[in-house]
Amino acid sequence: MNVGEETSTAGRPRGHELSATGVTVAYDGVDVVHDASLTLRPGEVTVLVGPNGSGKSTLLRTVARLQHPRSATLVIDGDTDGLALTSREFSRHVALLTQGRPTPSGLTVRDVVEFGRYPHRGRWGKADPGGRAAVDRALAMTGVTELAERGAEHLSGGQLQRVWLAGCLAQETGVLLLDEPTTYLDLRYQVELLDLVRDLADEHGIAVGVVLHDLDQAAAVANRIVLLDGGRITADGLPEDVLTPQRLTDTYGIRIEVDTDPLTGRLRTRAIGRHHMRSERLHTTS
């Protein structure tokens, strides 16, 4: 699979490093992201977590240049000013899967995925010799090959989510940004999508940035976790260093326990609600 814009002498695709510093974003004059810094490195999956309204999706969209910041510096591979690139040039480096994309009407699944090739076609629909193969690979990787000629308006929410992801993969960039990509997916496809995310980083060196709500999924897929609260980054590091009981309890406003799954060796979390507390009391007194 050729997923990077540039290749090494061995023919392997490589990812790009995307660094954002001093990111401040305001809505209606009120800052919602405060002086945040985020670096996405080739071969790593960085997961942004935090409560609703913490600024994680806004930060990701700003890094993808879909949200205009009050201030920000964006650098690709240490020397390219990401804000100075044209939209087409930037899209050869960075792809974003957003939330809530509209349902296309009158288009087949293949048509939708082919939109991901637009940065490579040049002006006036210039030929794209590698386009067909890239689209076929993206369809196969997301498990929608058999849907290629079906009308996109006839798909379920989960199927359409995978089609939009296929479009991002067909774009063949060195940085992939995913905003809550498991939304609408059933359990099987959630697991398969996160496996695919790890493959993109591990096998192809892509720099991946993901917004997730599920803390266990975040711990399972991430090299690094970035925790946001109130528009500020409050922790950035290894999952075991960020996902601590006290930090999560303070951030989410509910008691959260953290332990290690004995079968997988991965961190797992448990939010303790009123009914959990009642069950604990009954168990203690019985």
pLDDT for the residue 3: 38
Q: Are residues 234 and 128 in the same domain?
A: yes
Q: Are residues 31 and 170 in the same domain?
A: yes
Residue 27, token pair as written in the block:
């809505």
Q: Are residues 94 and 37 in the same domain?
A: yes
pLDDT for the residue 6: 42
- Looking at every residue in the chain, the average pLDDT score rounds to 90
CATH of the domain at 148: 3.40.50.300
pLDDT in tens, 258-282: 999 998 889 999 999 887 665 555 5
pLDDT in tens, 13-39: 468 999 999 999 999 999 999 999 999
pLDDT in tens, 125-152: 567 888 999 999 999 999 999 999 999 9
Tell whether the model's pLDDT for residue 7 goes beyond 80: no
Q: Which structural domain, as residue segments, surrounds residue 144?
A: 18-242
Q: Are residues 285 and 206 in the same domain?
A: no
Residues 6+ apart with CB under 8 A from 79: none
Q: What is the model's pTM?
A: 0.88
Three-class secondary structure of residue 103 per DSSP: coil
> Exposed, middle or buried: residue 186 (CB in 10 Å: 0-12, 13-18, 19+)?
exposed
Distance (Å) of CA 224 to CA 39, 135, 264: 10, 30, 18
pLDDT for the residue 128: 84
pLDDT for the residue 123: 67
Q: Are residues 137 and 278 in the same domain?
A: no
Tell whether the model's pLDDT for residue 158 goes beyond 80: yes
Q: Are residues 230 and 258 in the same domain?
A: no
CB 42 within 8 A of CB 206: yes
